[in-house]
Amino acid sequence: MMGSADITPKFRGKVAVVSGAAQGIGAAVVDALAARGAAVALLDVQPCVEDCARQLSQHHGRQMLGIALDISDSAAVTDAVATIEATFGPIAILVNVAGILRMDAVLDISSEDWQRTFAVNTHGVFHLSTAVARYMVQRRCGSIITVGSNAANVPRARMAAYAASKAAAHQFTRCLGLELAAYGIRCNIVSPGSTDTPMQRQLWTSPDAVNSILHGSPADFRLGIPLQRIATPQDIATSVCFLASDEARHITLHDLRVDGGATLDA
């Protein structure tokens, strides 16, 4: 976990909710928000999220909350958000990170994998965002950030379900932001490219996998990364913190690409 001594506590006194909080980008976002003063409610399908919250509480010296749930379950999400609001405090920041990747060729992917991908990556964003937004509207303030993917804008071989589900989540977040702007609520997207996470590493099926990501792979119709580095989860987390902060108070409906230039602004 990162230390908090040298980071401005710009979120002190604020409650943040992060889905997919137990590992990867979600865990980095939680730690970055906590280091900047936020009290964080961690949501994840993995039961270990409760232990993660306890460890975070000890590290930062203030209460954190861990809730194990499946964000594709609308009733469970509604109950969890109500619990957070009633016992933990008014939610000021929501970060949608939870996501799954089921890879296969379009003609081979199963209906079950297609539906499950949308259940988490798209419907989960809808359930959590709308549940939180109903409270934010009453207070006429708040920030909602969806961590999507640059695959929402550039087609990827064997990733049709993932790319389509992320594209839907992107456009939903923009539409939500348009409707909530009148209440002073900002809705933005952070679109990572290749990032060193467990999800990314499941794509590294050969010793040359990282090199092909950095330099491109014509056989896979894939561009390389101009900055020639794989992002870290912390790269994504700091971008999320910027959009959640008052420094971005006039930014909404924005898609911030954090991909080293991989999509060439496509």
Question: Exactly one of 162, 165, 168, 243 is catalytic; which is it?
Answer: 162
- The beta strand positions in 162-260, using DSSP E, are 185-192, 255-258
**Cβ–Cβ < 8 Å for 213, 148:** no
CA distance 219 to 235: 29
Q: What angle do CA 95, 172, 258 make, to 5 degrees?
A: 50
Q: Which amino acid is at 154?
A: V
CA distance 74 to 23: 22
How many C-beta atoms surround the C-beta of residue 225 within 10 A? Answer: 19
Tokens (6 digits) for 122:
């798209």
The DSSP symbol for 231 reads B
What is the distance between the alpha carbons of residues 122 and 23, in angstroms, rounded to a whole number?
A: 19
Instruction: Please indicate whether residue 162 is annotated as part of the active site.
Output: yes
**Could you list the active site residues?**
162
